Amino acid sequence: MGEEGMEDNKLQVTEFVTVSELANLMDVSFADVIGKCMNLGIMVSINQRLDAEVIELVSSEFGFEVEFIGLEDVEEEDEEDEEEDEAAQVPRAPIVTIMGHVDHGKTSLLDYIRSANVVAGEAGGITQHIGAYEVTLPNGRAITFLDTPGHEAFTAMRARGAKVTDIAIIVVAADDAVMPQTKEAISHAQAANVPMIFAVNKIDKDGAQPQKIYEQLSQMNILVEAWGGKFQNQELSAKQGLNVDLLLEKVLLEADLLDLKANPTKEASGTIIEASLDKGRGYVATILVQNGTLNQGDLIVSGQHYGRVKAMFNERNQRIEVAPPSTPVVILGLNGAPQAGEKFKVFEDEAEAKEVATKRAQILREQGLRARKHITLDEIGRRLALGNFKELNIIIKGDVDGSVEALSDSLQKLSTEEIAVRVVLKGVGQISESDVLLATASDAIIIGFNVRPSMQANKLSETEGVEIKLYSIIYTAIDEIKSAMEGMLEPKYQEKIIANVEIREVYKFDKATVAGCFVLDGKLARNSKIRIIRDGIVEYPKGENQSAELGSLKRFKDDVKEVTSNMECGLTIKNYDNIKVGDIVEAFEEEEVKRTL
């Protein structure tokens, strides 16, 4: 996908342009480009995609400089080209993202505002994907809310939530503290230059100390209005509904200051919030229209996927025909599940839409192929040096794209020196036969997150012996994989001293030196491994991991298996007779210790 931008012999191209596209950009015949590639020792055909190094070499041969731009840059340029018509701009509803730590009451707050009950249906009480809701307030004004997960695994989702939004509400529980996830949410909001409002929740609970929260925020250079700063704050109780109306007033005040506008007459564009595969309805995408108006029947392209909007639903599952700016809607009709956070755009011309989507798909596939890690000699050397390198291959299928991404990131972070976690495939939708076959080929385990295997996949997994693990809560999945990895670690052995025996007499005979001993503590067994300690220093055997053995162990004249503490005994030591009075015989055993990550 070459972008014709040429000044002072500078080419702007995305990586992986084809030979013919490069020739067109430089205005030379493709035969010349192929010729130059052959001179470099690279055999290419007219439609072959070149990688960055080759493009640079070939272009420099023709006297061109190359600047590489990513797919996103191309799209952003396209969007900037369109001049905004000031007169057509009308006020739009603010988009507000609710962020904060797990269990600080984000969803409860939203439930109260929407007078719905989402929390009840959540596995383990944590939100695991972004929800988008539109609320009309008693005064007739609308606000669009995004609810983001607070669990540490969902960093990427929070970052996306902060990008899409106009205002961020950071929820902190008054009986808790400013947690790492809260700090992360604040930094996402700051990075996206989004105004923040702090909602201090759970003030009805015993032990609630809002002032402590303000103090902790002030240490992060954030002063709330109550402390004379510029960030609005509101103490409230989402369960009781206390002061929630005051919070909404502050949101509207912040929105008025921002003076948010959009042009409802142009073609719609916006962001994908979440995407999933529904058995009866196909690919379902939750999207947020940010500019323009989306109509049923519009042709939209998002990333490498495109399709006509067959149906639109609001968050209460009612069908709608038109979605003006700042409206979250669920749409059907895309030919795949686009990535959450991807932009979407409406196209007039179907051929153009198809072409854009397929080009992106090609480029993404190329990038995927090149990014696939082939094992290097250094890596083989590293694994050999470790001596017991293991790999855990995983296939992840989930109900929505965001959860799959969060799970895959969290599991890859578990990789250690000795065990690498490799995500072979991640996707949205039920676990299919092809997933099981891939798992067989790559020795992988399949993780299903809120999805189930199809009947055929189930049968196949039983015959092939592929393990399918199903989860509905993200941290259970992470913990189980972690303990599976701990099971793969080689166990460590550590010594445990079981007896100390003092030598009190030494009798030298022709064939052996016998020590008359007293067991100070523990229990000395006939087959114990032993060492001899003289004046606190190991006298025999010296060297690493070595141990000596007893030749015999007697009480009076009888051979015995063991002697317990405070008893006397006679013993000989195999292959060693330089025993002295006062030496200590230390008996020990090695026990296996399970290693943890």
The CATH number that applies at residue 432 is 3.40.50.10050
Same domain for 206 and 100: yes
At residue 150, the pLDDT reads 55
Same domain for 253 and 273: no
Split the chain (597 residues) into runs of 10 and give each run's mean pLDDT: 54 77 85 88 81 84 81 53 68 87 81 63 46 80 79 59 81 86 84 87 86 89 88 87 86 89 88 82 87 91 90 84 90 86 87 87 71 62 71 87 84 82 86 88 88 90 88 85 78 85 92 92 91 89 78 91 93 89 91 73
Same domain for 245 and 114: yes
Same domain for 303 and 179: no
At residue 260, the pLDDT reads 87
Q: What residues pair up with 145 in beta bridges, in sequence order? A: 96, 133
pLDDT for 191-207, tens place per residue? 878 889 999 998 888 88
Same domain for 501 and 484: no
Is 87 domain-assigned? no
The CATH number that applies at residue 214 is 3.40.50.300
181's CB contacts (< 8 A; 6+ apart) are 100, 101, 102, 150, 151, 152, 158
Residues 546, 541: Cα–Cα separation, whole Å: 6
pTM of the model: 0.63
Same domain for 290 and 158: no
Is 224 domain-assigned? yes
Is 79 domain-assigned? no
At residue 128, the pLDDT reads 47
Same domain for 165 and 251: yes
Decide: 142 and 248 in contact? Cβ < 8 Å. no
At residue 546, the pLDDT reads 73
Same domain for 114 and 28: no
Select from 467, 488, 509 the last residue of a domain: 488
Nearest Cα to 103, choosing from 203, 165, 172, 21? Answer: 172
Nearest Cα to 166, choosing from 197, 202, 130, 122? Answer: 197
Residues 314, 296: Cα–Cα separation, whole Å: 13
At residue 121, the pLDDT reads 44
Same domain for 484 and 356: no
Is 84 domain-assigned? no
Number of domains in the chain: 5
Decide: 560 and 569 in contact? Cβ < 8 Å. yes
247's CB contacts (< 8 A; 6+ apart) are 169, 197, 199, 234, 236
Same domain for 100 and 225: yes
Is 264 domain-assigned? no
Q: Report the 10 Å Cβ neighbour count for 248.
A: 20
Is 13 domain-assigned? yes
Select from 234, 259, 284 the last residue of a domain: 259
Same domain for 24 and 47: yes
The CATH number that applies at residue 540 is 2.40.30.10
Element (H, E) at 440: helix 433-442
Is 316 domain-assigned? yes
Is 61 domain-assigned? yes
- Helix, strand, coil tally for the chain in percent (to 5): 30, 35, 35
At residue 6, the pLDDT reads 45
Select from 458, 488, 518 the last residue of a domain: 488
Host domain of residue 552: 492-593
Same domain for 484 and 497: no
